[in-house]
């Protein structure tokens, strides 16, 4: 058996970790303040989380085009486009804030989704030059890059939220700067551009054939449920924290704890997958997500928010990284572009629905903040049952060609 050198793969992982830390800081920043800023600008409180939903829609709509763009021009070019979209979106959101224009603010969030979509491909790029043995660890290490962004982003919120006459304007200007600085990191990537397919070369399965493959179908379901439920709860958490009488700084601290919990486990998730298998780690992630919901519904003390959001982050990490590892081991190289784009289209489609639902459940169900927060967490149940059932169904089937 030929040994594949992972020297280049490790270098690329280092670059992607740095990009995750620098450019990725804008994601906890935006998730912390967008709902609060939206509540200030929106004509109806039920629309407070619409900017976050718009960003997720932008990510969903651009997942397939960016995947196709990368398949033709390479990862580096696609990541630069993503950073440009993030900078433009943050700039327009800043303009919307300064003009007190909710539609303009939402449009800026929509463009920010271009960056969010591109960032989703960092984990796939880490596997492009990696051996089979290093692949789960590469995914895990790149996801761990979010650890720095988990600290950096919310701290920037604290420094910039009230730094200008218009609340949160400084935060969006800082997000523009992060995208501009981060672009230079991608010059260090060493991932070859895909070669044009030679005549007669294998084309691979169609999208419909791929999505009907049992392991791929289950990987997509678990990834979608893990990401959507994480977004559902995280989107509402700043509104719930502030609505229960705590300060914006407390909401930022809760988000910091949550994002740390999302990425700290990444240092060992890949090793756990290698030892116990993807299915067991995905199942553990779903179980921890269920525990997060139970803790959240147990009370609205600050300790409950911290514990629930920490469990939410850990559950997302195991479920999402496990699903990504299963997916990358379940398709051939020539199928990569179409499958990864389709996966993220479905994942962010689910996240879009969750994001839309989050604001309505939080602000427009029940007569209090506590009732709305309980409704958000109760909504997790049917989707956890769906994903858990899919894993059980897969476990009862014989192993297929691409067993992870």
> 270-327, pLDDT tens digit by residue?
889 888 989 999 999 999 999 999 999 999 899 999 999 999 999 999 999 899 889 8
Distance of CA 296 to the CA centre of its chain: 21
236's tokens: 């509402």
CATH of domain 8-191+206-395: 1.20.1250.20
Terminal-residue alpha carbon distance, the chain: 18
State yes or no: pLDDT of 404 exceeds 60.
no
Report the C-alpha gap between 246 and 359 in whole angstroms. 19
193's tokens: 């551009």
DSSP string covering 149-180, please?
Answer: HHHHHHHHHHHHTTSSSSTTHHHHHHHHHHHH
Other residues' Cβ atoms within 10 Å of the Cβ of residue 158:
16
Average confidence (pLDDT) over 96-100: 92
Report the C-alpha gap between 67 and 129 in whole angstroms. 17
- What confidence score (pLDDT) does residue 176 get? 94
Report the C-alpha gap between 383 and 69 in whole angstroms. 32
Average confidence (pLDDT) over 75-87: 93
pTM for the structure as a whole: 0.73
3-state SS class at 46: helix
- What confidence score (pLDDT) does residue 44 get? 80
State yes or no: pLDDT of 35 exceeds 50.
yes
Are 185 and 22 spatial neighbours (Cβ–Cβ below 8 Å)?
Answer: yes
Report the C-alpha gap between 118 and 49 in whole angstroms. 22
The domain segmentation of the chain, as residue ranges, is: 8-191+206-395
> 179-202, pLDDT tens digit by residue?
998 888 888 888 887 766 656 666
To which residue do tokens 């572009």 refer?
A: 337
129's tokens: 């030059």
């Amino acid at each position: 058996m030929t040994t594949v050198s992972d020297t280049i793969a490790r270098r690329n992982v280092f670059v992607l970790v740095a990009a995750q830390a620098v450019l990725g800081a804008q994601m906890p920043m935006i998730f912390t303040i967008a709902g609060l800023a939206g509540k200030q600008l929106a004509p109806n409180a039920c629309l407070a989380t619409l900017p976050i939903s718009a960003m997720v829609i932008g990510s969903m709509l651009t997942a397939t085009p960016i995947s196709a763009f990368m398949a033709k021009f390479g990862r580096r070019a696609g990541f630069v486009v993503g950073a440009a979209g993030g900078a433009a979106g943050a700039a327009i959101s800043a303009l919307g804030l300064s003009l007190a224009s909710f539609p303009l603010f939402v449009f800026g969030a929509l463009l920010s989704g271009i960056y969010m979509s591109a960032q989703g491909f960092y984990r796939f790029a880490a596997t492009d030059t990696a051996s089979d043995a290093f692949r789960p660890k590469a995914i895990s290490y790149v996801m761990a890059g979010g650890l720095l962004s988990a600290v950096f982003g919310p701290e920037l919120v604290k420094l910039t939220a009230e730094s200008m006459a218009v609340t949160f304007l400084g935060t969006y200007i800082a997000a523009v700067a992060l995208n501009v600085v981060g672009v230079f990191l991608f010059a260090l990537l060493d991932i070859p551009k895909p070669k044009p397919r030679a005549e007669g070369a294998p084309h691979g399965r169609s999208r419909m054939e791929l999505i009907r493959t049992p392991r791929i179908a289950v990987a997509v379901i678990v990834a979608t449920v893990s990401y959507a439920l994480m977004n559902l709860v995280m989107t509402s958490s700043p509104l719930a924290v502030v609505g229960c009488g705590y300060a914006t700084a407390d909401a930022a601290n809760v988000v910091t704890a949550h994002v740390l919990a999302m990425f700290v486990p990444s240092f060992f998730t890949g090793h756990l997958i290698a030892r116990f298998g993807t299915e067991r780690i995905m199942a553990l992630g779903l179980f921890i997500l269920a525990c997060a919901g139970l803790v959240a519904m147990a009370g609205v003390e600050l300790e409950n928010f911290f514990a629930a959001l920490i469990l939410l982050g850990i559950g997302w990490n195991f479920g999402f990284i496990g699903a990504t590892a299963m997916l990358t081991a379940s398709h051939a190289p020539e199928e990569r572009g179409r499958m990864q784009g389709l996966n993220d289209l479905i994942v962010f489609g689910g996240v879009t629905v969750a994001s839309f639902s989050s604001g309505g459940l939080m602000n427009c169900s029940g007569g209090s903040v506590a009732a709305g927060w309980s409704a958000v967490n109760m909504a997790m149940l049917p989707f956890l049952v769906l994903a858990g059932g899919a894993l059980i169904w897969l476990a009862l089937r014989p192993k297929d060609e691409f067993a992870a």
